[in-house]
Amino acid sequence: MDRIPRLVAGITGTAAALFYRVDRHGPPLPEGPLIVAANHPNSLVDALLIFRCSERITRPLGRAPLFDRSLLGPVLRALGGIPVYRREDDPEATHRNDEMFRSAVDALHGGGAIQIYPEGRSHSEAHLVEFRTGTARIALQAEEGADWGLGLSIVPVGITYAAKELARTEVAVRFGKAFGCADLKNGYREDPVATVRRLNERIERGIRRQTLNFDRHRDRILVEVAEQLYVRESRWVPWRVRERLGTRFPRLQRFGRGLEWIRAAHPEAHRRLIEKVERYAELNDELNAGEGGVPPRYRLLPVARYVLVRGTLLALGLPFAMAGSLLWVPVARLPGFVVRRVKPQFEVTATIKLATLLGGTFAAWILWPVLGYLAGGMSVAAVAAVLAPVCGFVAMLWVELAREVREDTALFLRLLGRPDLREQFAELRSELTETFRQLEKRWMEERQENVPREGERPVPGEAVGREEA
């Protein structure tokens, strides 16, 4: 019964995992009725990533106009998608949302899973935008319809991209702890509106815990630079090692909270810190050091090991990479060509690229076996069908490794004979690291001072909500 949805979700999810480097974190999805609620930074790609990272098929709720598109509509319907009629799409069709609520509740009553984006729109803000109440209303209506014995689970998901418009960049998909809403039974019967708002806030807190939220995009850039510098100077992570975004995520969150604190509590210290971080980032950019940073020194044995290991991998993979490049370069360049011609809105750029890449890949995968059959019969066609995607995958990995080696080598050559640059970096790194440590100590002391003693009321703004989200 669910073979077609699983096939479609598997194909599209795999395509998303090839387009990005996906890093999944968190527990598996629970069994039974389930709502997966996620932030929405990247249009349809967000749903594909959830397909990729989920053990279950989650029926997507999507804008109604998407179901009328020639290619996308059949895919959404095959996945069991449920159309949402937004006022901004068609003010006269919003009455049809009664159908949407019934379909979503029926799916949950049948033990199924749905995925929803409570922000209601895809966006490129550096933080979550205002949540709409549809997710909370569906959850409460489903429990009410089952006399509060449904056992519904809500799982908050955070999707964080390094650069959502660029292929083969990092994306972290973080699944939070599941929670329910059956405890809101009495409140919902007494005041449905207030209870919907309460559950909506609970869902937002859950998603906020799995996302990075900044006032400005510039803040995120500064936090990433500061975090990379600090962990390397503290010797938690070796220089030139590129960590996965999901691994860095908890530290980035903590640095982000620290930035908010120092901006509010000590604006002058915040200004001085930002100036130092920006100066370090400028020096880093001048050398094109990337996220691996500028090592204080290069030692002979690690350099020799680096050259041996990566050189061997590049040499072994070169024949496959060359074959893959010849076969797949036109397909790889097709998305960029389409985007330049179509000039889509930034929000759907990655979706257009991914759809184009998926279509081009299928076309090429059919073409190479056909040409092989014409050239040498069925055996050559079978070899082409297997080797073409293998060579393409190896070529993709080879190009990424070669790019990394080229960046590391160029930095090594730039620093040869430039002890002044190394000293400049070392001095600034040491100064910034000490500043971070002092600020962290001060932050912890001030937070400790604001923790209420037994019997005291909490200081306004310091109390943390205890509802599980």
Residues 93-102 have pLDDT tens digits of: 999 999 999 9
Per-residue model confidence as pLDDT tens digits over 172-225: 999 999 999 999 999 999 999 999 999 999 999 999 999 999 999 999 999 999
With 0-12 / 13-18 / 19 or more C-beta atoms within 10 angstroms meaning exposed / middle / buried, residue 402 is middle
Say if CB 270 and CB 215 are below 8 A apart: no
- What is the pLDDT confidence band of residue 372, given thresholds at 50, 70 and 90? very high
d(C-alpha 174, C-alpha 158), whole Å: 5
Average pLDDT over residues 78-92: 92
Average pLDDT over residues 358-380: 93
d(C-alpha 211, C-alpha 118), whole Å: 14
d(C-alpha 160, C-alpha 46), whole Å: 10
- What is the pLDDT confidence band of residue 321, given thresholds at 50, 70 and 90? very high
- For the CA atoms of 25, 26, 30, 35, the dihedral, rounded to the nearest 10 degrees, stands at -80
Task: List Cβ neighbours of 330 (8 Å cut-off, separation of 6 or more).
Answer: 360, 364
Say if CB 376 and CB 368 are below 8 A apart: no
The angle that helices 43-53 and 349-376 make with each other, rounded to 10 degrees, is 60
More confident site: 143 or 5: 143
Per-residue model confidence as pLDDT tens digits over 260-280: 999 999 999 999 999 999 999
d(C-alpha 37, C-alpha 294), whole Å: 40
Q: Does 459 have pLDDT greater than 50? A: no
Provide the CB-side half-sphere exposure for 160 (13 A, CA).
28
The three-state secondary structure class of 342 is: helix
Average pLDDT over residues 96-118: 97
Residue 302 one-letter amino acid: P
Q: Does 326 have pLDDT greater than 70? A: yes
Query: In the prediction, which pLDDT does 286 show?
Result: 86
Query: In the prediction, which pLDDT does 422 show?
Result: 82
- For the CA atoms of 258, 259, 264, 267, the dihedral, rounded to the nearest 10 degrees, stands at 120
d(C-alpha 60, C-alpha 324), whole Å: 35
| Single pTM value for the model | 0.92
d(C-alpha 121, C-alpha 130), whole Å: 10
Token pair listed for 308: 């041996």
Task: List Cβ neighbours of 56 (8 Å cut-off, separation of 6 or more).
Answer: 29, 34, 113
Average pLDDT over residues 381-401: 95
Task: List Cβ neighbours of 71 (8 Å cut-off, separation of 6 or more).
Answer: 355
d(C-alpha 448, C-alpha 308), whole Å: 51
- For the CA atoms of 352, 358, 363, 369, the dihedral, rounded to the nearest 10 degrees, stands at 160
Query: In the prediction, which pLDDT does 467 show?
Result: 39
Token pair listed for 393: 């995958």
d(C-alpha 425, C-alpha 427), whole Å: 5
Pairing of strands 153-161, 170-175: antiparallel
Say if CB 230 and CB 433 are below 8 A apart: yes
d(C-alpha 391, C-alpha 262), whole Å: 51
Per-residue model confidence as pLDDT tens digits over 293-318: 888 888 899 999 999 999 999 999 99
Residue 156 one-letter amino acid: P
Pairing of strands 82-84, 113-116: unpaired
Query: In the prediction, which pLDDT does 451 show?
Result: 62
The answer to which of 77-81, 121-125, 243-247 has the lowest mean pLDDT is 77-81
Considering just the CA atoms, what is the radius of gyration of the chain in Å? 26
- What is the pLDDT confidence band of residue 452, given thresholds at 50, 70 and 90? low
Per-residue model confidence as pLDDT tens digits over 33-54: 999 999 999 999 999 999 999 9
Query: In the prediction, which pLDDT does 462 show?
Result: 35
Residue indicated by tokens 């930002």 = 274
Average pLDDT over residues 305-334: 95
Residue 457 φ then ψ, to 5°: -80, 145
